[in-house]
Amino acid sequence: MADLTFKYGTMKSGKTLDLIRVARSYREQGKIVMILTSDKDTRSGIDKVVSRVGVTAEAISISDDLNILGLIGRKHNPDIILIDEAQFLSTEQVRMLSEYVASKTGRNIPVICYGLKNDFKNELFEGAAALLAYADNLVEIESTCQKCNRKATMTLRFNNGLPIRFGDQVHIGDSEYVPVCKEHYASII
């Protein structure tokens, strides 16, 4: 049986870079890699994933109501499935992936999901909550607080330089997201 893995970290922790590193490693061995990302994150254009250091890879953008197993079935036998921005997956999609890695078709195909765990209000994203419940492996990608050198576990959202703690969970664009430790999360808001 293959594994469903959730690699989670704050903003700017290098999740996408790790995804691209894994993809390259598989491709160097002549293996087929399927990369998916969310159509909610359009910062770097659709149909690709872009790390903050500028490394990119082609990806298929999916919506949270897509039948993810139908999509995988239409592609040609990937050796691994990598999913970026997995916090935007629906609970149903995560449940499907969990069944997939245990199924006859998916038993040799690992699925690695990369995403945020908690939002700027420190509440779990739907996809993250489902992955915490369903994933076979949980891996934290660590990063440091932007205000000190302790581990960052939370994310602050700034609009026009001011921290905010209300508003929609998904708001991509003019906000700046800053990874912080719990102390700085509490002290700034």
Residues forming the active site:
85
Rule CB under 5 A: choose which of 27, 48, 147, 182 binds Zn ion: 147
Q: How far is the CB of 143 from Zn ion (least distance, A)?
A: 11
Q: Which is nearer to Zn ion, 135 or 178 (CB)?
A: 178
* 2-10, 45-53, 140-148, 160-168 -> range binding Zn ion (CB under 5 A): 140-148
Under the binding rule (CB under 5 A), the answer on residue 184 touching Zn ion is: yes
Nearer to Zn ion, 90 or 143 (CB): 143
Nearer to Zn ion, 81 or 145 (CB): 145
- Selection from 82, 40, 32 nearest residue 61 by Cα: 40
Applying CB under 5 A, the span of 43-51, 116-124, 149-157, 170-178 interacting with Zn ion comes to 149-157
Closest approach, Cβ 160 to Zn ion, in A, equals 22
Provide the binding-site residues for Zn ion, judged by CB under 5 A.
145, 147-148, 150, 181, 184
